[in-house]
Amino acid sequence: MDKTVESAEKACEGIKSGMTLMLGGFGLCGIPENSIDQLVKMGVKDLTCISNNAGVDDFGLGLLLQKKQIKKMVSSYVGENDEFERQMLSGELEVDLIPQGSLAERCRAGGAGIPAFFTPAGYGTEIAEGKEVREFDGKPHILETALISDFSIVKAWKGDTEGNLIFKATARNFNPLMAMAGKITIAEVEELVPAGELDPNEIHTPGIFVQRIFKGDRFEKRIEKVTTRPRN
């Protein structure tokens, strides 16, 4: 089944204000930047965005924050985004901060059809407030519920016309998990090849999880924070 669409505009059709979106990536690595640009152009508002972090002020999800299009962020890291910090501290933005491993597992559980699981992460902190606690092997665990989204938007290195995806390096962190957990999953890729060209042993996300795929026309490859040594 050919799942290709011609552009980010076509891929994002049906995304409406008030929806819950998962957006892959880790920092600025592996973020679906072409799709994010399209969401900005669409002007959809009151979004709940589930993502590792909110990027930086002028790139990635920071662009949606600038336009006040995000109502709630579900993430694990505030990052280098001053506008995210400002909106969170002023109460303009609802924020649900989750331990990084718990966030990843909640996405994976949503894609696997597991409604909830117990984890020791967060016990004894504000994370555990109002959550069920059970003891396993003498250690307290809190109950965390799975996460799903109306749309999951991921970015892969390579993909084929049937939606099979290969992620590269750090981009393999949250993208494959979120691709499983969307009612509709959009994949933007750097290289799009015909079905059958990818080695089945190298595929990270099977095409059954992907409904739309397109080749992005711009990938900036920006580094979030650069630290270098002075020359001698």
| Tens digits of residue pLDDT in 96-108 | 999 999 999 999 9
Residue 217 pLDDT: 87
pLDDT tens digit sequence for 38-71 = 999 999 999 999 999 888 888 889 999 999 999 9
Instruction: Find tokens 């989750």 and name the residue.
Output: 98
Residue 196 identity (one-letter amino acid): G
SS3 state of residue 200 = helix
Which segments of the chain does DSSP mark as H helices, in order?
Answer: 8-11, 33-42, 61-66, 82-90, 100-112, 175-180
- Name the CATH superfamily housing domain 8-114+147-215: Glutaconate Coenzyme A-transferase (3.40.1080.10)
Confidence (pTM): 0.92
SS3 state of residue 171 = helix
User: In degrees, to the nearest 5, what angle opens at C-alpha 92 toward C-alphas 124 and 74?
Assistant: 45
Is the Cβ–Cβ distance between 135 and 141 less than 8 Å?
Answer: yes
**What does the alpha-carbon distance between residue 229 and residue 232 come to, in Å, rounded to a whole number?**
9
Which mean pLDDT values do the consecutive 10-residue runs of the chain (232 residues) have? 96 98 92 96 98 88 94 87 89 94 97 97 94 97 98 98 96 95 97 96 97 90 76 76
Residue 226 pLDDT: 75
Residue 82 pLDDT: 87
Residue 190 pLDDT: 96
Which residues, listed in sequence order, are joined to residue 156 by a DSSP beta bridge?
Answer: 189
Map out the domains of the chain as residue ranges: 8-114+147-215
Which residues, listed in sequence order, are joined to residue 4 by a DSSP beta bridge?
Answer: 213
Residue 229 pLDDT: 84
